[in-house]
Amino acid sequence: MKKKRTWHKKTLFIFCSMVIIIPLLIIIFISPIAKYLVEKYSVKYTGRQIRMSSAYVNPFTGFVRFNNVKIYEANNDSIFISSGSISADFALMKLFHKTYELTSLTLDKPRGSILLSTRYHLNFDDLITRFSSTNHDTTSPPLHLNILNIKIKDGVFYFHSTLNNVNYFIKNVNIESAGKRWDLDTLDSEFSFSSGPSTGEMHGNFTVNFNNLNYRYHLVAQKYDMDIIEQYLKDLVNYGTFSANLDADLRATGNLKDEEVVDTKGRIAVNDFHFGKNKKEDYLSFTRFVLRIDEVNPKKHIYHLDSVALTHPYFKYENYDHLDNLETMFGKNGANVTAVSNDKERYNLIIELGNYIMDVSKNFFHSQYRINKVSLTQGDLQYADYAPSEQFFISANPLNIRTDSVNQSKGRIQIYLNTGLKPYGKATVYASINPRDSADFDVKFNFDEISLAQFNPYIISYTSFPFDRGTINFDGDWNVRDGNIHSENHLLIIDPHVAKRQKNKAYKWIPMRLALALMRSSGYVMDYQIPVTGTLKESKVHIGDIVWGVVKNIFIKPITTPYRLTIKEQENTIYKSLNVKWPTRESAITGSQQKFINKLVYFLEKNPTESVVITPQQYEDKEKEYILFFEAKKKYFLAINNRKTAELSEDDSEYVDGMSVKDTLFVTYLNKRLRNSLIFTIQGKCGNLIPQEIVDAKFKKLNQARKANFLSSFKEKGIASRVVFSPAQNDIPYNGFSYFKITYKGDFPDYLIKAYKRMEELNSRFPRDKYKKDRDEEDLKSY
């Protein structure tokens, strides 16, 4: 009886052991078997080699985990995707119902690479082809495959394009999806990721219907760095840098087969946008651009925007002897962009984005469009022209533009623009536009208080004479209906005066004093109506008022000569008693200046308690530009004449001064010594040849010489201590030249008081009384 009981115990023990050991053995051996089978047959069934460090398979629970998985590129030893682990749970019981279901699929810390080798070829095209074969047996029932609860945790994915050497990656990639069942067409997911090389993150959700390819998404971006744009930009430009970041909150529905079938709502904001020559020199920038979308649906012809706002935009346009700053970047007439656009094998994200925006907005003006608010605030638009022999510069700053509601169904759109003009001037523009007809609009504009001297780079080039006084006011009123123009334009130039002629081989010559005598009235103004008529395609400028004014001056001015001489005498007395003008790069006192200095010396001698304060107003940029040109031309002159000494005779200096900085041989000499291929201006090329320290030293010496020459007469009389020099002010003078501003501490000299009274009297009488207010404003700037 005891032996029988023992046998039963042994049998039970063996049975229990088998129950435990056999599953353990199955688990122990099936895991390496599974690893072996996956690695052996991976190429056959996927076209890719798959490797892993270990596998765990539990056939009883349906749990599978592969550790340190590496999937290689097709026919390549580089890794396509790797993962710290891939785990899945299989619903074993559903196998009996011919349903294959992964109740969960998790990729932990995956790292993948996407390679674009041509516009239409990615490194996973073979997988798409293999697993989306159209050779299905339509007579067989569909495969019942469910993949549920998909998770990707903390992934990193790289993108590389061999077409234009683009490298980019995203990190912290997390994706969660309820998955897809075999009998449902829809897959939804939530995602989040961060910029790999920089800052910012995106998150949201995405849903797609695989049957009809309809989709919807909600995307939120927070200060997402757009540095990938710079990599694509290199494909389009010869040089340049880019930076910006993106905020967005967008919701959209659409269809993947038709880009016009999209309905979008939300907000896009681009921040800290910078694009330019290098990281320190922008050509285009803005603080913030915000687009708020109520609804955009190209297919339904709906473009409803709440607002478009641009803050602190900056744009700099530079014109060179050859091309401009945009053409040097993008090629002549945008040749680089055209080449990339026409290359059908090449993919460029910037071109694709531009084409997409053009496609979805091409019917804007033929649709139901509405923009509640459009604004541009605190803009700065700059224009610099280096084609003349000296630089010309003007800017609209601060520039503000606003509109009322832009609405396709509204009567007219009102646009308001106002800006300051640097260095001097201001402008306002009002426009009223018919949104249904671009050839139906009204425009009123005013340009006021613009210094005539700031256009000297052009005026000197075409006449040899610079202006040293004058104010431009220009206004107009345009009415255009059905493309037919009716306009009135009024040009007023107050007190235009020219300085002495500048002799240079590059300058053309026009007898400007004679021209001014013919065009300037006896009241020392040029006041003309210049109407424009015709059509937008072919307009005509009417200059009859100008011609009639010239004719009148020929006959009237000789009669008014005594009057004009009186005005000139009083103006000179006031002007030269309040400032001493210095021709650029010169320090000698002229005869007429010495005459007024002698008057000032006499005044101080007769009035021992009086003194004057001299404030040097230095046009530093222009003076240094002229010094730089002279020193560069001098170095060239010495080199071609094989002269080692830097000293020049008076004749040599005059010859060098009269040389053109655009002389072909001189420019060739400069180009051969360039160390930087991105120097496009003659100023930059001369600066490459002449160290800045030399220019600064020459400028300092010039100012010292001017001070010494001015004080010479006072020192001779022992009253130099009563001439006090204030710190110099470096600015752009209204009259275009450096000068000494004279301020009287105490009473004015009698001759100056008399000149003021006489000038006030003349300005208050015909024909000058009409322009008295304009002259007063000019005098405030001039004196």
Residue ending a domain, choose from 559, 575, 610: 559
Q: Where is average pLDDT lowest: 17-31, 332-346, 386-400?
A: 17-31
Average pLDDT over the chain, rounded to an integer: 87
Domain-embedded: residue 167: no
Q: List pLDDT tens digits, range 617-631.
A: 999 999 999 999 999
Give the model confidence (pLDDT) of 82-132 as tens digits. 999 999 998 877 766 678 888 999 999 999 999 988 777 888 888 878 776
pLDDT for 240: 92
User: CB of 686 within 8 A of CB of 670?
Assistant: yes
pLDDT of residue 522: 72
pLDDT band of residue 711 (cuts 50, 70, 90) is very high
Do 424 and 472 lie in one domain? The reply is: yes
List of residues 6+ apart from 114 with CB closer than 8 A: 122, 123, 124, 157, 158, 159, 160
Q: Are residues 572 and 675 in the same domain?
A: yes
- 650 and 507 co-located in one domain: no
In the chain the first and final C-alpha atoms are separated, in Å, by 134
527 and 572 housed in the same domain: no
Q: What percent of the chain has pLDDT over 90?
A: 53
Indicate whether 694 belongs to any domain: yes
Q: Do residues 545 and 596 both lie within one domain?
A: no
Same domain, 478 and 588: no
Domain total for the chain? 2
682 with 606, same domain: the answer is yes
Residues 533 and 566 in one domain: no
Q: Check whether residue 625 and residue 502 sit in a common domain.
A: no
Q: Quote the CA–CA distance of 257 and 237 in Å, as a whole number.
A: 32
The reply to whether 592 and 722 lie within a common domain is yes
408 confidence band (pLDDT: 50, 70, 90): confident
CATH of the domain at 662: 3.30.1330.60
Are 514 and 641 contained in the same domain?
no
716 inside domain: yes
The 3-class SS string of 387-451 reads: CCCCCEEEEEEEEEEEECCEECCCCCEEEEEEEEEECCCEEEEEEEECCCCCCCEEEEEEEEEEE
Structural domain that includes position 569: 562-756+772-782
> Which residue, of 559, 585, 610, is where some domain finishes?
559
- C-alpha count within 13 angstroms, C-beta hemisphere, residue 416: 7
Domain end call among 559, 586, 619:
559
Compute how many other C-beta atoms are within 10 angstroms of the C-beta atom of residue 350. 18
Within a domain: 248: no
Residue 36 in tokens? 């072996």
Residue 431 placed within a domain: yes
**Quick check: 49 pLDDT over 80?**
yes
pLDDT digits (tens, 9 = 90+) for 285-334: 999 999 999 999 988 889 999 999 999 999 999 999 989 999 999 999 99
> Are 548 and 567 within one domain?
no
Residue 464 lies in a domain: yes
Whether residue 727 lies inside any domain: the answer is yes
Instruction: Write the pLDDT tens digit of every residue in 661-673.
Output: 999 999 999 999 9
Tell me, yes or no, whether 83 lies in a domain: no
- Model confidence at 1: pLDDT above 90: no
Return the C-alpha torsion angle 406, 407, 411, 412, nearest 10. 20
